[in-house]
Each structure stands twice: as C-alpha cells, then as structure tokens.
Chains A and B, each alone.
Chain A
Amino acid sequence: MARVAMRSLNKKYDEVHAVIDVNLDIRDQEFVVLVGPSGCGKTTTLRMVAGLESITSGHISIDDKIVNELPPMDRDIAMVFQNYALYPHMTVYDNMAFGLKMRKFDRAEIGKRVQEAADILGIGQLLRRKPRQLSGGQRQRVALGRAIVRHPQVFLFDEPLSNLDAKLRVQMRVELKKLHERLGTTAIYVTHDQVEAMTLGDRVVVRKDGRVQQVGDPMELYNQPANRFVAGFIGSPAMNFVGVRLAAENGSLWAENPGMRIQVPAPLKERLGPYAGREATLGVRPEDLRIAGAGDPGELTFPAAVEVVERLGSEILLDVAVGETTMVASVEPTAPAKVHETLRLAVNPDRVHFFDNETEAAI
C-alpha cells in the first residue's frame, strides 16, 4: 500500500526526449493506467518507477520517500513484463519463490505464500511444471503470482495482456480487475489499448510524445476530452472531426462547412464566442449521431450520403460522406440504412466538442 508521486519527471536519451515534465500523484490503492501510442514514453516512465531506467531530472517518491537513487530491489515493487520474463530453468514454484528466497524468508513462509498466491490465481496444480510446459494464459498467471507473493507496495504492469489472444485478454482483464479489488495494492499499468485503459483504470493518464495529455477517470476522458488527441484516442470507433467555420448570425452561433450547418448549442456559445468568424474543429462521437426523425430541429441535422454499412449486430456503423469529409455514425441495429442513400443525421447537442485548430485544445 503506497502512494507514488512523480515531480517534473524527465528522461532524455541521446537523441530522444522520451519523458517530458511528467507530474502525477497516484493515491494509495489506486489503479492508474498509462495509455498512449507507442513511443509516448509510458513504458519508460514505468521503468523509471521500477528503477530499471535512470532519471534525467525530477524525482519519483513512494510514500513520500524519494527513490531516485534506490536500486530496484529496495523499492518494494513488483513488475509484470510483457513477455512475462519467467525464469525458464525454474519450476513455477521456484519462479514464484525466487523473490522470497532472495529476501531470506524461511521455507515455511515461502511455501505458505506461494500456495496462497497459487490458490488465488488457480494455478495450484501447475507448481511443479516448467514455464515452457504452460500455455500463454497460464504463464501470465504465473507472472502475476510471482508479483503478488511478495506483497509489494506497488504493482507495475508493462502491457501484460498484449501477448494473449483476444478472448483470453478479455478474460484476464476481468481477473486483473478482481485481483486488484481483492488485494487493494496500488498499481500502475501501461498499455496502448484504450479499452484496457478504460476498463481497468480508476484513473487513466493519456500520453503522447512524452507528455501527459490528460489525467482523469475513464468517463471524464470520454465526456470531456482535454484536447483533440485524447478525444480521438479514447472511444471506439473514434470521434469524427470536421473542420468548420464559426459564424455569428441573429444572436446565435453557427458551425458551418460545405456539407453541414449546425447551430452551436447554448452552453458552448459563450466559450466559442471569440471564435466567431474563425475556423475550428468540430468533434462528435459516432454514438452521438443518429438518423434524424421528424421531431429533430433542423438546426441540429445535416444531410449525409451513406457509403458503407457495417452491421455489427448490436449496432450499425454508417460511413457517410458529409460535404467533402467523411464521418462514421453508430445507429441502432434496426435502422433502415442503405448504401448510396442520402439521409439526415441528427447531432446530440449536449455532446458536441470543439477544438482549437492551432493548439488542438478543447474549447
């Protein structure tokens, strides 16, 4: 159980500035996910917390104790690696017991703890096997077991599910969540998969090019993305972005481009006021678009030519052409949609986002 804090953390390699001014406070028992595309410095950050990577500047503290110079073994952390890093010449039991042996626990205590961890993870019958005799999912469990036997202060996960097949990944994701609820240990989890980030994280840190883009709980990231990158990264299918020009007319504000003309909803009007007469980017999620009915006000609808219809069962994804741009709309599975048909789509006015074209920040 511990708090982890990062203060103006930086990591520079010869050419690359991999981690730039990261500030982050992780509360006790919190499950924090670092997510971002590859090369965003998320793994480097995790390795710096583990002590495997030196810190260029700034500091990391665990429970108010600065650990910058502490070797990995003295940080009381456990890490699960992407390739599991099981010791191939040792049995599952020895793999799990290694950390305890190194810390001079007595044999009885080691046996008890390994058994306990094996029971939690359901690998009790595998203890005598070697890693090469295990399936991917079993190896994953052993790697988790090796982390939990030590009762460390912090768990570090480096893309632990990315080597599993899709079905197993979903299953292990649920188990990880349960495990965290049961043990309550502070955890930092690195992934490039936004679904994993959203489902596992108490809070999610979105990274790009070494910088933190936004920190927040999953719904906050989904509902109020801080900038265009976060908006596009979180959510699947991704948010639609359309370049628009904002025009003031008769006391109301309109977002318009050759394909559409939409009235800016009242709550956003004030903030968008200074942008009148300028370009901006409108963002709307596919699930916030629907086929317009008779009751939808004309100022929130626009014509769209259906190009592709993807029937996913629970929903239909429509790839539509709107003026010069294309958008994706997610509509209910019963919707009557045909290719080459032109229909009207309605926007949910509470859920439109606008982004500055220069800074890409949300307006």
Chain B
Amino acid sequence: MPELTGWAVVVALLAATVGVITASDKSRSRWGWLLLCLFVPPALIVLFFLPALKLYGPGEQPWRRWVFFRVPISAFVLVLLFPFYWMIITTVRPDKELYRPWQAPNYAPFWTAHPTLDHIRDLLTTTLFSTWMLNTMLISLAATAISLFCGLLAGYALSRLKFPFAGSIGTGIFITYLVPQTLLFIPLSDIIRNFKLGDSPWALILTYPTFLIPFCTWLLMGYFKSIPKELEECARIDGAPRWKAMLYIIFPVAIPGILSAGIFAFTLSWNEFIYALVFLASPDQKTVPVGVTSELVRGDVFYWGELMAGALLGSIPVAFVYSFFVEYYVSGITGSVKG
C-alpha cells in the first residue's frame, strides 16, 4: 500500500509539472490549469507525509531514496521557499524591470540583471518603517511577556492542582481561543474606545493576550503534564514549598516548552493584522503588517518594491528567533523530559 501511494505521488508530481508547462503555453492553458488544480494540492499534502511512509531505508537501492525521498522533498521545499524568493527578488529589482509588461521581449520574471537597494532605502527614509518596526517589537514583546506569565501560572495550575471545575475551566479557556478574531474585534473595539485606549500601543498589548493566553496555557499545560510529577513531589519532600518547587524545578525543566510558547506567541503577535488595523489609526502608531499594507498601497497604486522590502525586513526578526531557538522549539512541541 505505501508503495502505491509513493508511485501516486510521483505520477501526481509529473502531472503537476506537465500542468505548469502547459499552463504557461497560452494555446493549451485551460488543460494545464486543470491538471495543476487537480494534482498539485494532493501531491503537496502527500509529500508532506511521505517521509512517514518509510519507503526507503538503510540498505535500499539508491534510486528508491531518490524517487521517494530526495526528489519529492526537494520539490516540497522549493514550493515552500518560492514566496520568499519572490519577495527577495522583487525587493532588489529596479522599478523599470518591475513594471515592464510581460509581453516585452526582455521580460524575465525570475531574475534581475540590475539589482538595487533603492526600495529598501526608500522604505527606510520616506516611510515610517523604522517606527513601525519599533512599535511591533514593543507590542509583541509586551504581549508575549504578559501572555507567557499568565499562561505559565494557568497551565501549571490546570495541569497540577486539584480544584473544583479544573476541567471545565481548562475547556473554557480553550473555547475562547476558538472564537475567531474577525468576530471578536467588533466588541473589543467598543471596549477599547470606552477605555480610551484607541490608537495607542496599549490597545494591542492588552488585546493580543485574549488569544495568546489560551494558546500559551494549552501548550504549557501539555508540557507540564509530560513532566513526571515525582520531580515536584521529590522537591517538596526535599523541603521546598510549592512555589519554590515550581520556580526551581518545574520551570527550569519546562524551558523548552516555555520557549516554544514564547516563540509562537511572539510570532502570532508580530504577524497579527486585524486588531492592529482596527485599533490603530495614525501612521506613527502602526505595526509592520498594517503599516506596510496601508501606507504603501496608495489608491490603486502598489509600490511593489517597497512593499516587498517591508515584508522582507519585517520577517527577519521572526526568522531570527526561530532559527536561534529551533532545537528548543522542536523539543517543546514534541514535549518530552528524559530523566
């Protein structure tokens, strides 16, 4: 059965490739698009699970490794990285090339002959981009800190203490996470107005925890549950009151979980769009996602170079945080403490 799936993936990939080629040829484009739509999504989904199928292994013929692992995984990585490549290439591409019509004989969408840093310079000098970065950083850090603190205590209590309605409180917290922000921003904007917090960083610092706390609580709850309770019991017999056992034993052991909750919370608030769009109005209060999209799209004019430069610079801190803590982050998600 896994054999069959493997071959199905290969066929789907081939079909998708044929689709791409045909779609780019105008005369046969309808069939190309059909092939693309039919085969690309399932191919991508199956590709994602392909390594788990274990179609290859030590001692297998090398071609199996290529067909079932290396080629599909490379294709997958290429697809995932393409938007980033597009972002970078658009950033460094001069306006003359960017706005060249695609029928032009020297049209080359995937490459540039004259890379330029003009867009980045424009972004940093003519817009408030550095202010937006600062705003976003401040808001994300503050919201993450608040959420992590509350999440830590709530997660610990829900996973370790016995008190009435512990289960239903846990579920209640989870349910608040399920309410979509696109609904929640309406009542929240009313509250923000009543507290006169509109158009200030506090509007976001105080509203982001509404979705970050449930998230952190649940992630940390799961992590705390994976820590053997004997560790804490031993600490309490050793003479530590509960808060000391928590501080000296449980929290240090839970660092991978805490870090991954922190990284996630930071990323979520860094990328958050709708609250920032609704609660902030003045250009100098905006965050990166909102600032870039609202200030660099004027009317129906898209300043693609600056937009992409903003997106590129805006994703650097998140990429940095992830690559720096990737090990902790992985063990935080898989959640295991080895004695």
Contacts and interface: CB of A to CB of B under 8 A. Distances in A.
Partners in one complex: yes
Interface string A89-128: 1000000001100110000000000000000000000000
A241 interface: no
Closest 3 CB pairs of A and B: A99-B238, A102-B239, A85-B230
A88 B336 CA distance: 12
Given A73-B240, A102-B244, A139-B339, A88 B253 contact: yes
Contact of A88 (B235, B248, B337): B337
Interface stretch (A76-84, A166-174, A222-230, A315-323): A76-84
Given A88-B338, A98-B235, A132-B339, A83 B240 contact: no
B238 A85 contact: no
B249 interface: yes
Given A81-B230, A102-B244, A86 B238 contact: no
Interface string B299-311: 0000000000000
Given A85-B231, A87-B231, A89-B253, A71 B236 contact: yes
A304 interface: no
Contact of B339 (A84, A98, A103, A146): A84
Interface residues of A, number: 28
Contacts of A132: 338-339
Given A87-B249, A88-B339, A102 B240 contact: yes
Interface string B152-163: 000000000000
Contacts of B255: 89
Contacts of A87: 231, 234-235, 249, 253
B254 to A, nearest CB: 10
Contact of B233 (A72, A75, A78): A72
B233 A85 contact: yes
Nearest to B241: A73
Given A88-B253, A132-B338, A139-B339, A77 B228 contact: no
B109 interface: no
A179 B233 CA distance: 24
B237 interface: yes
Contacts of B337: 88
B252 interface: yes
Given A85-B228, A88-B253, A102-B244, A52 B233 contact: yes
Contacts of A88: 253, 337-339
Nearest to A54: B162
Contacts of A89: 252-253, 255
A98 B236 CA distance: 11
24 contacts: A71-B236, A73-B236, A73-B239, A77-B237, A79-B237, A81-B234, A83-B230, A84-B339, A85-B233, A85-B234, A87-B234, A87-B249, A88-B338, A88-B339, A89-B255, A98-B238, A98-B248, A99-B237, A99-B238, A99-B239, A102-B239, A131-B339, A132-B339, A139-B339
Contact of A79 (B228, B234, B240, B338): B234
Interface in B215-246: 228, 230-231, 233-241, 244
Contacts of B239: 73, 99, 102-103, 150
Given A88-B338, A102-B244, A131-B339, A72 B237 contact: yes
Contacts of A75: 237
A50 interface: yes
Contacts of B238: 73, 78, 98-99, 102, 146, 150
Q: Counting chain B CB atoms within 10 Å of each CB, which of A79, A85, A139 scores highest? A: A85
A83 B231 CA distance: 9
B252 to A, nearest CB: 5
Residue among A83, A88, A150 with max Cβ neighbours from chain B (10 Å): A88
A4 to B, nearest CB: 15
Nearest to B233: A52
A114 to B, nearest CB: 13
A89 B235 CA distance: 13
B237 A86 contact: no
Interface in B273-304: none
A98 B234 CA distance: 10
Pick from B231, B234, B236, B337 the residue with the most CB of A within 10 Å.
B234
Contacts of B339: 83-86, 88, 131-132, 139
B331 to A, nearest CB: 12
A325 to B, nearest CB: 44
Interface string B250-278: 00110100000000000000000000000
Contacts of A72: 233, 236-237
Contacts of B235: 87, 98, 102
Q: Tell which of B240, B244, B253 has the most Cβ of chain A within 10 Å.
A: B240
A78 B255 CA distance: 27
Interface string A48-75: 0011100000000000000000011101
